[in-house]
Amino acid sequence: MHSREKVIFEYSRPGRGAMDQWPHEEGSALADLPEGIRRTGRPLLPEVSELDVVRHFTRLSQLNFSIDTHFYPLGSCTMKYNPKACNQYAMLPEFLGRHPLAPESHGQGFLACLYELQEMLREVTGMQGVALSPMAGAHGEFAGVAMIRAYHRSRGDLARNEIIVPEAAHGTNPATATMCGCVVREIPVDAQGDVDLEALRAAVGPQTAGIMLTNPSTLGVFERRIEEVARIVHAAGGLLYYDGANLNAILGKVRPGDMGFDVMHMNLHKTFSTPHGGGGPGAGAVGVGARLLPFLPIPLVGKSASPEGERYRWLAEQDLPQSIGRLSGFMGNAGVLLRAYIYMRMLGREGMSQVGEYATLNANYLLARLRQVGFEAAYPERRASHEFIITVKRQARELGVTAMDFAKRLLDQGFHAPTTYFPLLVPECLLIEPTETESRQTLDAFVAAMEQILSEAMQEPEHVTGAPHTMPVRRLDDVRAAKQLDLTWKPTAQS
């Protein structure tokens, strides 16, 4: 891996450009624009050749770890293989060229895919209705909590504005509740990682709008008393929200709808293998039970019979007058939805039921092997779900080698680090999610790397605390980054 690539502006030379890409028109075509409305100075964009661009961005790409190049066991993120077919067939020219406001007559193929995707997601989640437009997990959470709020309001139940969240929840859960104008109430989990039912009973009441849960939880274990949780919340008049971040663990094994959840989002970019793209795009489709059907965000895709056969059409305000409304300019991340559709069709019902099984097999195998070589499980009495937590608090205390040090040293060994320091209630933790698409041999190699780091930590801890040694940069000064803000390149800046 090469160490550094110049900033693109440093390649700039006045008068250079990828001119084969430019239209012929000169600025004179703009002569009719009124005085005073024109731009006077040019924006700072690079002046570089096409080859400069290709080399620069190819080199930048090579500074990244990715699923295609490295094992990427980032807990809670489900970094499984993104099949190439999903990209190729979502990028057929007809799909790419289709305008979002093109008529339904020129979109029956696209709409058919979306309709069938809605149907398949309904089936695998046990929900009654699915809307595809939310563009990421947090966006789906927003839609879900907004629906819970709209439901209570439609019943004149205006006092219900409190959302209960377990303390180990993803940060997006409380942030979402706030965005929906709700108040957050956190409750603890017990020593085995299950929700503290006494605390839950004490927390619910006439102010309860609902509870947001991930199951398996962020602690990597299945919430065993989920039916009791549902009974308590429902009896108090609240609704249950399922955070689908960990859906991969149970795909084909148990359905959120059957567990008693009223509303959920699915991270299609996790469970259904659409790419993360270095931070998006995701897709956060939402599913609801019968009570929330009227509140789904628009647009949805509907199907009706016509003399020519089945026709697919958009459903909008007039079809769902109680909808929480429109959450995206057009149809969410449509191209991501096509990728998820292709993935689900390739897996089929046969493959779908294997995802949860092999994700769980891999996680439990990796946990067993890591314990064998000397690592401590955070919940040793529990089965791992699709992910698990190990804690290096002993190594941190005795050797001064922290979870962050293990993470950074793993990079030197050619493995992306697991999620670190989340969930917050387990000290010095690594949250590890191997996914079903990794082979036993890859998992064994990871165990060997972890074992080596453990032995380094005992023999030469400074080598671990000083890691990474082989990356393009060493550890970065985050404090400096936040205090001496350098957020844009300046022509005068040092290169």
Partner 1 sequence: MAFIPHTSADVQEMLAAIGVSSIEQLFEEIPKELRARAMRGVPSQLNEMEIGRLMSERARMDGRPLCFIGAGAYEHHIPSAVWSLTTRGEFYSAYTPYQAEASQGTLQLIYEYQTMMASLTGMEVSNASLYDGASAVAEASLMAVRANRKSKSQRILIPATVHPHYRKVARAAASNQGVRFEEVPYCTQQGASLAAALSRYEGQDVTALVIQQPNFFGILEDVDALTDWAHAHGALVIAVVNPTALAVLKPPGQWGKRGADIAVGEGQPLGVPLSSGGPYFGFLTTRMEYVRQMPGRIVGRTLDVTGRPGFTLTLQAREQHIRRAKATSNICTNQGLLVTAATIYMSLMGAAGLERVAAASHARTRELVSALTRIAGVRLAFEGAYFHEAVLSLDKPVAPLLAALASRGILGGLDLSEHYPELEGALLVCATETKTSEDIELYAGALTEAMSGLATRGLATRARPATAA
Subset of residues 295 to 324 that bind partner 1, contact rule: CB under 8 A: 297, 324
Q: Is 179 in the site for partner 1 (CB under 8 A)?
A: yes
Q: Is 433 in the site for partner 1 (CB under 8 A)?
A: no
Structure tokens at 396: 């941190």
Structure tokens at 17: 């450009």
Residue 480: burial class (beta carbons within 10 Å; 0-12, 13-18, 19+): exposed
Q: Is 69 or 394 the residue whose CB approaches partner 1 more closely?
A: 69
17 secondary structure, DSSP code: -
Nearest distance from residue 74's CB to partner 1, in Å? 6
Nearest distance from residue 441's CB to partner 1, in Å? 8
Q: Is 160 in the site for partner 1 (CB under 8 A)?
A: no
Cis peptide before 216 (omega within 30 of 0): yes
Q: Is 325 or 374 the residue whose CB approaches partner 1 more closely?
A: 325
Cα distance between residue 141 and residue 242, in whole Å = 9
Q: Is 38 or 305 the residue whose CB approaches partner 1 more closely?
A: 38
CB atoms within 10 A of CB 96: 9
Among 158, 191, 305, 487, indicate the residue that binds partner 1 (CB under 8 A). Answer: 487
Q: Is 231 in the site for partner 1 (CB under 8 A)?
A: no
Nearest distance from residue 459's CB to partner 1, in Å? 22
Nearest distance from residue 315's CB to partner 1, in Å? 15
Q: Residue 64: what are its φ and ψ, rounded to 5°?
A: -100, 150
* Alpha-carbon distance values, 233 to 207, 293, 303, 400, 471 (Å): 11, 20, 35, 44, 49
Contact 223, 195 (CB under 8 A): yes
Q: Is 105 or 492 the residue whose CB approaches partner 1 more closely?
A: 105
**Using CB under 8 A as the criterion, what x/- string covers residues 113-152 for binding partner 1?**
x-----xx-xxx-x--------xxxxx-xx---x--x---
Quick one: which H or E segment has residue 412?
helix 403-412
Q: Of the ranges 41-49, 201-209, 390-398, 451-459, which one interacts with partner 1 (CB under 8 A)?
A: 41-49
Nearest distance from residue 439's CB to partner 1, in Å? 4
Q: Is 319 or 398 the residue whose CB approaches partner 1 more closely?
A: 319
- The closest of 404, 415, 418 to 476, measured between CA atoms, is 404
What is the rounded radius of gyration, in angstroms, for the C-alpha atoms of the chain? 25
Structure tokens at 116: 């069938």
Among 75, 77, 266, 313, indicate the residue that binds partner 1 (CB under 8 A). Answer: 77
Quick one: which H or E segment has residue 339?
helix 334-372
Among 155, 349, 394, 397, indicate the residue that binds partner 1 (CB under 8 A). Answer: 349
Nearest distance from residue 37's CB to partner 1, in Å? 6
Among 365, 376, 377, 451, indicate the residue that binds partner 1 (CB under 8 A). Answer: 365
Among 152, 160, 255, 313, indicate the residue that binds partner 1 (CB under 8 A). Answer: 255
Q: Is 54 in the site for partner 1 (CB under 8 A)?
A: yes
* Alpha-carbon distance values, 60 to 8, 281, 321, 488 (Å): 10, 19, 48, 17
Residue 98: burial class (beta carbons within 10 Å; 0-12, 13-18, 19+): middle
- The closest of 356, 288, 353 to 324, measured between CA atoms, is 288
Among 308, 380, 486, 492, indicate the residue that binds partner 1 (CB under 8 A). Answer: 486
Structure tokens at 204: 């619910």
Q: Of the ranges 43-51, 233-241, 389-397, 454-462, which one interacts with partner 1 (CB under 8 A)?
A: 43-51
Among 205, 207, 358, 393, indicate the residue that binds partner 1 (CB under 8 A). Answer: 358
Among 154, 198, 206, 280, indicate the residue that binds partner 1 (CB under 8 A). Answer: 280
Residues in contact with partner 1, counted by CB under 8 A, come to a total of 205
322-360 core/surface letters (b: 16 or more CB in 10 A; e: else): ebbeebbeebbbbbbbbbbbbbbbebeeeebeebbeebb
Q: Is 294 or 466 the residue whose CB approaches partner 1 more closely?
A: 466
Q: Is 59 or 155 the residue whose CB approaches partner 1 more closely?
A: 59
Residue 485: burial class (beta carbons within 10 Å; 0-12, 13-18, 19+): exposed
Q: Is 89 in the site for partner 1 (CB under 8 A)?
A: yes
Among 71, 75, 80, 200, indicate the residue that binds partner 1 (CB under 8 A). Answer: 80
Among 154, 178, 452, 459, indicate the residue that binds partner 1 (CB under 8 A). Answer: 178
Among 155, 231, 397, 474, indicate the residue that binds partner 1 (CB under 8 A). Answer: 474
Q: Is 397 or 469 the residue whose CB approaches partner 1 more closely?
A: 469
CB atoms within 10 A of CB 37: 7
Q: Is 254 or 458 the residue whose CB approaches partner 1 more closely?
A: 254
HSE-CB of 179 using CA atoms within 13 angstroms: 16
Structure tokens at 315: 């459903």
Q: Of the ranges 232-240, 285-293, 453-461, 466-474, which one interacts with partner 1 (CB under 8 A)?
A: 466-474
Among 34, 156, 321, 380, indicate the residue that binds partner 1 (CB under 8 A). Answer: 34
Q: Of the ranges 198-206, 232-240, 325-333, 455-463, which one interacts with partner 1 (CB under 8 A)?
A: 325-333
Per DSSP, what are the bridge partners of residue 312? 303
